[in-house]
Amino acid sequence: MRYLFGLLYLLISFACQSPTQPENVDEPNELQNVLIIIGDDHSANVLGAYGNNVIKTPNLDRMAARGVRFNRAYANAPLCSASRQSLITGRYPHATGVTLLRTSFPEEQVTIADHLKDEGYVTGIIGKNHFNNRKNHGFDVKIERKDYYTYLEDNPGREVPDSVAVRPQWKPFRDPARIWLNADALPGNHYDADDIGTWYSQRANQFLTDHQDTSFCLVVGFHEPHSPFNFPIEYAQKYDPANMPLPQGSPEDDQWVPQIFQDLTEEERQGIVSAYYASTEYLDKNIGLILNKLDSLGLAENTIVVYLGDHGYLLNDHKRFEKHMMWEPAVQAPLLMQAVGHLPEGEVLEPMAEFVDVVPTLLEAIQAPSLASVQGKSLLPLIQQENNTHKNYVFSEFLADNKAMVRSDHWKYIFTTGKRDLAQGYATGNPAPGITHRLYDMINDPNETKNLYADPVLADTVRHLQSQLINWFRQTHPDSDTVSPNETVEQQLVSFCEPPDENANVGAQ
């Protein structure tokens, strides 16, 4: 009898198995982790995957080949702090309250880290955060530049001999532009193994190792290739300045060129570009360290990875070296997404996207609850080819200059109050221009060389884009009810383009 019961048990156990649905060992794990990597001032024009044949970016190119590349991704502010806090909240800069460089990030704003921490995720941010305060904003782990300097006190690394020329201390606007923009393309005072970008990668890899068995959300913010275009000793003379591409701009640019750039020679301009390229290659190497660690830990199949620049950068485009403008190379930036086995490989998407779309995309991809406060729209239906369009308009703002932009596939409209010369050290020396409107035909004039605002044939186009810009502010601005719809279009735009950062430096440490 004991034998019969044993046989019956085995038969029942066998029957309860599912031979018609065998385990597929090749099926990828569910997406459960988020990794966001941010380059600083990274122009989409300086990336191999975006068609640049001079720059060497094999790791980001490989990421693009393994995932999705967005050809027209727009930062919602051409300014580090405003763009970054907009990115991690999925809210437009005026909605986060951060539109000026030194604004302290309000603690009440809900970041992706706040949200996922409530879902049991371990959260971390390593590198540049630009919170302008000492708060953690939902991140369990917060490692930044000051921690690197503390590390160097006990680990100074290999000494650089006096015979090696290194760049001087970075003193923007105090030194001539050729110095603080590194026209001599000089390396920093560290070898690769001891430099800050490498150290950030090591800290990120330690985080991945420590939390490989738990769900995590990690943000890594590199300083490169922001001026002074840092790179270690080994990267010196990587790029010959004489071979650097140098856009020439147009006569229309002349009235907007800051005084600090006006005396730069062509050779100095090419030197600045070569330093930027070396810094970008160094950035790519460090990103490769993280992507390789993700692979070696077996995390690539359950982690969605995003790479983006916090905005673009003008490399002599329109005769200047900065962001802060609404021309394409300043507001457009790289945006790559990788999730091995989950997202298409080598997909290239042309529809316009905004950085506020990143958080809702990530939350949908990992099947986390949506975040009610976000103002962006998930890109996942576009990626999965459920839709072939995404947005008809994208927006950006730089309220230090009381400036805002709306762009459609065909047109770009830019408004500024012009109540002062350009801000943040970029003064042109010209009188304040007053209210200024610009309209560019992005199909027939992609380099934005001719302002068509005054063309009477395009008056309806201008009115339509102005209405879109005002509607955007009304739908997303926390103080929209203080601006009367009975005011003129210009009066409404003037009000909305005033920065809400009344206490920009309160709490900044």
Output the tens digit of pLDDT for each of the chain's 509 residues: 433 334 333 333 333 333 333 333 345 579 999 999 999 999 999 999 999 999 999 999 999 999 999 999 999 999 999 999 999 999 999 999 999 999 999 999 999 999 999 999 999 999 999 999 999 999 999 999 999 999 999 999 999 999 999 999 999 999 999 999 999 999 999 999 999 999 999 999 999 999 999 999 999 999 999 999 999 999 999 999 999 999 999 999 999 999 999 999 999 999 999 999 999 999 999 999 999 999 999 999 999 999 999 999 999 999 999 999 999 999 999 999 999 999 999 999 999 999 999 999 999 999 999 999 999 999 999 999 998 899 999 999 999 999 999 999 999 999 999 999 998 899 999 999 999 999 999 999 999 999 999 999 999 999 999 999 999 999 999 999 999 999 999 999 999 999 988 655 544 44
User: What is the residue-wise DSSP string for 446-493?
Assistant: TT-----TT-GGGHHHHHHHHHHHHHHHHHH-TTGGGS-TTS-HHHHH
Write down the pLDDT at residue 423.
87
Nearest by Cα to 30 from 294, 302, 363, 410: 302
Confidence at residue 463, expressed as pLDDT on a 0 to 100 scale? 98
> Using an 8 Å Cβ cutoff, are 129 and 142 in contact?
yes
Reading the block at residue 238, the tokens are 């990587």
3-state secondary structure of 263: coil
Residue 506: what pLDDT?
47
For the chain, list the domains and their CATH numbers.
33-383 (3.40.720.10), 394-496 (3.30.1120.10)
- Please tell me the distance from the alpha carbon of residue 45 to that of residue 112, in angstroms, as a whole number: 29
Q: Which residues, in sequence order, are CB contacts of 265 under 8 Å at separation 6+?
A: none
pLDDT at residue 467, rounded to an integer: 98
Tell me which residue has tokens 């199949």.
301
What gap in Å lies between CA 100 and CA 104, rounded to an integer? 9
pLDDT of residue 502: 65
380 in Cβ contact with 304 (< 8 Å) = no
Q: What is the pTM (predicted TM-score) of this model?
A: 0.93
The CA distance from 98 to 108, in Å, is 12
Phi and psi at 467, nearest 5°, equal -65, -35
Quick one: DSSP state of residue 332?
B
Give the angle 191-278-285 at the CA atoms, nearest 5°: 65
> Does residue 167 sit in helix, strand or coil?
coil
E strand or H helix at 186: none
Per-residue pLDDT at 155: 96
**CA–CA separation, 372 vs 275, rounded Å?**
42
The number of CA neighbours under 13 Å toward the Cβ of 400 is: 23
DSSP 3-state of 235: helix
Give the N- to C-terminal CA distance of the chain in Å, as an integer: 80
